Structure 1
Amino acid sequence: MTSAPPPAREDRDQRERDGGLGTAALALGLLAVGTCWLGWPGLVLGLLGVVVGFIGSRRAFHDRHRSGAMSLSGFVLSLIGLIVGAWLVVPGLLGIGTFGEGLTLDECMAQAQGQQEERMCASQHLDEYRARYGDPGGTGG
């Protein structure tokens, strides 16, 4: 019985060179897409995956012995996770979300579950809020 010869040193070097960034980018991309509906996790993992995927794709572009397929697919998946995560997070950060839209100020405040949602209610119902509580930016004098 004869066994197959061990892989040549060049083949092992090739596999070692291709695996690192591509695998990391693909893993981050899959995690970003899987958690993007949660907001922050998709945003953070997407940002990391975009950076790692870009670096891996760029290296593969300049080295003909490298395959950039995993890096590129990780880059694309991470970009999707980043965009969806940002789409969910940014309105809350800027206070322009749709929480309380179509409700009166009282209904909105009753549904608010925190100070951020109360601020969103106040900004969406600014005229009614000012009529009831006065100008929040005024001197009060």
Structure 2
Amino acid sequence: MTSAPQPPARQGRRDDGERDRRDRDGGLGTAALALGLLAVGTCWLGWPGVGLGLVGLVVGFIGSRRAFHDPQRSGAMSLSGFVLALIGFVVGAWIVVPALLGIGTFGEGLTLDECMAQAQGQHEERMCASQHVDEYRARYGDPGTG
């Protein structure tokens, strides 16, 4: 007695093990890579690069850590997202930190009059005064005695 040939098993579809692996990942690799790319793309704006970079670092670290402990997973996307997020975070912080600390380069190489004319706020006026302390005190007096 001959039996009928068995139908081919699900052609063109992934096996259940691979699909389960993708489901267990939870999309951390994709999320980390997307956040890393956004962080690098917006790092020159300062704060967006810092924020997206920080979130991308956390997601990329978690995804890479899970992949490290589970040999069934590939952590390439998580690691790539982590590295890109780190670059976006560092460049964004490089732009933001001098502004926060007031150590920017506004007014360097200018006279006090030129610097004050270009100043667009109290913060920039203070930077001009700190760069030209002697001339500022001679004209306007010591700001600490007023």
TM bucket normalised to smaller:
0.7 to 0.9
- Counterparts in 2 of 1:18 and 1:114: CA distance versus 1, 3 Å: same
Q: Who is 1:58 aligned against?
A: 65
Shift of 1:37: 0.8
- Equivalent residue for 1:47, pick from 21, 42, 54: 54
The letter of the residue matching 1:85 is G
Q: Write the distance in 2 (CA, Å) between the matches of 1:82 and 1:23.
A: 18
**Who wins on radius of gyration, i.e. which is larger?**
2
Aligned-residue identity in percent: 81
- Equivalent residue for 1:104, pick from 111, 115, 121: 111
- Equivalent residue for 1:35, pick from 42, 51, 56: 42
Corresponding residue pairs, total: 139
1:84-99 equivalences under 5 Å are 84-99=91-106
- Counterparts in 2 of 1:128 and 1:17: CA distance versus 1, 3 Å: farther
- Equivalent residue for 2:11, pick from 4, 24, 32: 4
Shift of 1:60: 1.1
Shift of 1:139: 3.8
Shift of 1:46: 0.9
**Off by >4 Å, runs of 4+ in structure 1:** none
Long gaps (5+) in structure 1: none
TM-score if structure 1 supplies the norm length? 0.87
Q: Write the distance in 2 (CA, Å) between the matches of 1:78 and 1:99.
A: 29
Q: Is the 8 A contact 1:18 1:67 kept in 2?
A: no
Q: Who is 1:18 aligned against?
A: 25
